[in-house]
Every structure is written in C-alpha cells, then in structure tokens.
Amino acid sequence: MISTARRESGPLWLPLAMSALLSLPYLVAVRSFFVSDDWVYLTYYGAIPPWQVWRYFSPRVIWFYRPLQALQFGWLYHAVGLQPLAYNLCLWVMHLGVCLLVYVLASHLTTRRAALLTTALFATAWTYVDVLQWSSNFSTLQWALVTLGLSIVFLRYLESRSPALLISVYALFLLNFCAKEMAVNAPLLLAALWWWKTSGAAEPAPRRARLQEGLCLLGPVFAVTLVYACLHHRLFHDIYQGAPRPEYSFAPPAQALRDLLFDFNHLLIPFYLDPVVLPQMPLLQGWVRYLVVHALFLPLVLAAIAWRWRDREIGLGLLWILASLLPTVCLTGFHASRFYYLPAIGAALIFTHLGRQCWRRVSAPAASLRPLRLALPVALAYLMLTNLALVALLCFHMRQEACWAESAFDVLREAEPRLPPGALIVMRHTPRTAFLNGIGVLEMVRLALRDPTALGGVDGQKLPDLWAQRLRQRHPLYALDFAEYPMKLRCVRDTRPPSQAGQG
C-alpha cells in the first residue's frame, strides 16, 4: 500500500534538533577562511553601500545574475568585514533551514516517520559537502530554500486549490531566478510533483483532463523559463575585468548521458568511498568502485522496477534527481559538489522508500526473511556513519587549505606598509581548492594590501597584458610560496612574466 501524504508536517523541533546534530561535523570548518570566488564577490559586492539595495539587482553582474547572493555578501561585508565565522555560520544555519523544508516536503509525500528518515539521510549526505564550506555557495542554499518552498506551496495548492497559494507559487517561481540560474529546472520539478499528486488521487480524473489541467497550470512556468533561457545573455552583462574567469562548456550528448548515469550511482551508492570499512577488504572495495564508475545501469533498473510495480515513490525520487541535475549534467565540469545538493533529496526519498519496503517484508510474522531484521538497521547505521566520516574528513581537509589561504592573507597584510603601490604578487604552489585555476588571487591581494592597483596571479598562469606593461615599467615583483613554512613574501629580481619565470 502507498502511504497517504499528510498535509501537516507536525512539530518542527524534532527534525530541527536532528538536523543540527547530524550537521555538527561541518562546524569543524566553521572558522575556515575565504577561498577562490569568495574574494571576487567580497571585492565587488562589498563596495556597494548596503542602503543602495537596487544595485544588487542590477543586470550588470559578476559572472552570473544572482542578486540574492550579492545582497547577502554585501550586507555581511559591511556588518562583519572579513570575519569568516559569520559567513560560515550563515551557511550552516541556511542548511538547517533546507533540512527543515526537506522534512516538510517529505511529510507531504509520505508519513512523518519516513520524512524524519529522509531528512536524516539528506543531512548526512557527503556528496554536497563543499556547499557548507564555501561562502560562494550562498546562491546554492538560497536556490534550494526557494525551490523547496516553491515545491511545498505547490503541493498545498494541489490539495486546496486556493488562488492565494497559486499566486504564491508563481511569486516564488520568479524569485527563484534571483537566487541562481539553476532555477530553469524548477518547471521540471513541479511537473514531477504534479504527476505524483494527480496520479495518486483516490479517484483520478481522465488522463486527457489531467493533461489539460497540467498544461494550464504549468504552461506559464515553462514559457517564462524558456524566455529567460533565450534572453539570459541579452539581459545580463558580465562586468568582471579580472583574469581568469570561470569557463563552462557543454559536453557531447553521449558523454552527458554517461555522466548522468554516473551521477545516479554517485548519489545512490555513496559508500563506495567509505574510508573505514571497505579499505579493510581491498577486493570488495575495488568491485564496489568499479560498479559505481563503470556499471551504469542502476537508474535503469530502478526505473524498470518503478514501472513494473507502479511504484510512484521510486518514480518520484528518480524524476527529482533527473530534474534537479539538469542542466549542469550537460557541462564538461559536471562533477562538482554543489550540483548534488538538491539531487541528494531524491536519493534520500528512494533510500527511505526502499528501506521501508524491505522492513515490511522482513517484519511480517510469517516472513521467511524475518531473521534478517537486524540487517536493515545495521545497513542504515553503516550508511549514515560512513557519510558522517567522509564529511568530517573533507571538512578537515578544507580547513587546512583555508588555513593556507589565511596565512597568505596575513603575510600580505603584514607587508602592506613596506610595499609600494602597484606591487605584483606571484603565488607559487597554491592549493587546488584555495585558488581554483587562479580565481580570486587578484582580489585577495588587493584586499590584503588595500591597494586597488596591486596585481596578483598564480605562477605559470596566463596573465593579462597589464602584467607585461607593469613589468616593462620595472614595477617590483614579489613571490609568495605556499610550500614554505612559515610563509614569507620574497622580492623576486627576475622581472620576466610569471608564466615564463615558472617555466625557467
């Protein structure tokens, strides 16, 4: 029997306390310093006076149109400056808000107990770990909060048909475009929820009538999304003058399909990177990893099961994962933690449903598999503890790289009084995460030295012509080596461009 969705989610103190407890490992990195894109947003949006709110919504953007993120960065910068604790606590609190909304959404789709388990599985997922360690993910959390709020209000509208709720649905839908461009997948998520709700009615309407209703209800949403996608590059203009900048390109269709199938394995078999148990069994560890990377049939098997048994819960979980992965799965750089934040909800729904089905089969008094009852709690505990162990390890690693970035900032800030205006700073052996592809080095140098004319870059990186011009003018060149301990700023006599100096 399919569980009846409950309109009321019950008291929220229990899921809130549970989510806070399961999210404690993220506090390991709560004092982690800023990295990469953070410096760009702090520099540009921190310069906007907080009372000029309209400027955060300007179509002249840094890379992407995310005015809610710009607003949060700007107000935090004016409130606390460069104190990372406030930014990281904001990430953590916003994540708890997302967990609460996951619980409320799941309560509409299943029972309260199952909603609690879904929330717990989502809160312990390690696949999106970077979201809570990188301030630039304000946009990801804002997008998740608005999308989940939109989904909950949409389900409540389908239950009550209240015009006020329908207006709220369209208002949240439009607000979502102010959070992140990923809002283009919102119509697909709403369509999945509409299918789930209408197909499970006690007396479902004829298919043609349902389709007509769905078209009238979701047609405007799809139309607005299509217009937004077509006019995006005409409406918004990137004003970033620094180098380098994020580069996104689309993968060939065959590669995108393979990446999509891998994403399902990555979400549904998260223990393949178990750092504790599997390393004790190398042969089994190798087979599990091979299964995840190469045996890309798991979503197809689950889809066949959902179709064969008319299992709407598995179908909804698969549709949620698929819809929330688009369009990022079509990118060549598809495997980024932030892309798995909302898809992890679909995986949690599937885990919960499969666990409940297995428990029912082994718990029946006459069940032949009744001796296996203890296996399910053990498997659940193993999955959650593995996820928490991975979260803790990744947080420790991120904190270490952030400490290196903070040391570099402190060295530059200490050297500020003795450096001439327009100094050139070359960074060597930079950690991959702290300054991914060199992004954010220029802005970090300028904020540390309080000099808008200073230049910063990574050794070996292709730099703009302004560097060559400054070098010809005999501007002093300094090097900061992350491999040194303690880190020191050294004057470099060789005035060749950093890319050539690194090769020499």
Nearest 10 degrees: Cα torsion 390, 393, 394, 399: 160
Specify the amino acid at residue 396: F
Phi, psi of 419, rounded to the nearest 5 degrees: -95, 140
DSSP result, 363-376: HSTT-TTGGGTTHH
Phi, psi of 460, rounded to the nearest 5 degrees: 90, -5
pTM of the predicted model, to two decimals? 0.90
CA atoms within 13 A on the CB side of 495: 11
Contact 342, 324 (CB under 8 A): yes
Residue ranges in the chain modelled with pLDDT below 50:
1-7, 494-498, 500-504
CA atoms within 13 A on the CB side of 278: 18
Q: What's the alpha-carbon Rg for the chain, to the nearest Å?
A: 25
Q: Going by C-beta distance under 8 Å and a sequence separation of 6 or more, which residues neighbour residue 174?
A: 224
The candidate with the shortest Cα–Cα distance to 118, out of 131, 130, 105, is: 105
For helices 67-80 and 138-160, angle between their N-to-C axes, nearest 10 degrees: 130
Specify the amino acid at residue 3: S
At 289-333, the pLDDT tens digits run 888 888 889 999 999 998 988 888 999 999 999 999 988 888 877
For residues 480 and 411, what is the distance between their CA atoms, to the nearest angstrom?
9
Predicted local confidence at residue 493, as pLDDT: 52
First to last CA, the chain: 71
Signed CA dihedral, 276, 279, 285, 290: sign only: positive
The candidate with the shortest Cα–Cα distance to 184, out of 227, 233, 234, is: 227
In three-state form (DSSP H/G/I as H, E/B as E, the rest C), the secondary structure along 386-413 is HHHHHHHHHHHHHHHHHHHHHHHHHHHH
Contact 421, 453 (CB under 8 A): yes
Tell me the pairing of strands 455-458 and 489-492: unpaired
The candidate with the shortest Cα–Cα distance to 404, out of 338, 487, 345, 498, is: 487
Angle at 298 between CA 294 and CA 303, to 5 degrees: 145
Predicted local confidence at residue 138, as pLDDT: 94
Angle at 102 between CA 97 and CA 108, to 5 degrees: 130
Contact 154, 193 (CB under 8 A): yes
At 414-435, the pLDDT tens digits run 988 888 888 888 888 887 777 7
For residues 166 and 191, what is the distance between their CA atoms, to the nearest angstrom?
15
Contact 26, 19 (CB under 8 A): no
295-to-254, 261, 263, 305 alpha-carbon distances in Å: 16, 9, 12, 18
Place of tokens 């904020």: 447
Strands (E), 23-117: 60-61
Strand partners, 427: 458, 480
Predicted local confidence at residue 501, as pLDDT: 44
The candidate with the shortest Cα–Cα distance to 321, out of 188, 142, 143, 149, is: 188
Contact 346, 196 (CB under 8 A): no
For residues 110 and 1, what is the distance between their CA atoms, to the nearest angstrom?
12
Predicted local confidence at residue 7, as pLDDT: 47
Strand partners, 492: 477
The candidate with the shortest Cα–Cα distance to 412, out of 440, 451, 463, is: 451
The distance from CA 98 to its chain's CA centroid, rounded to whole angstroms, is: 12
Predicted local confidence at residue 433, as pLDDT: 72
For residues 73 and 233, what is the distance between their CA atoms, to the nearest angstrom?
24
Contact 177, 129 (CB under 8 A): no
Tell me the pairing of strands 477-481 and 424-428: parallel
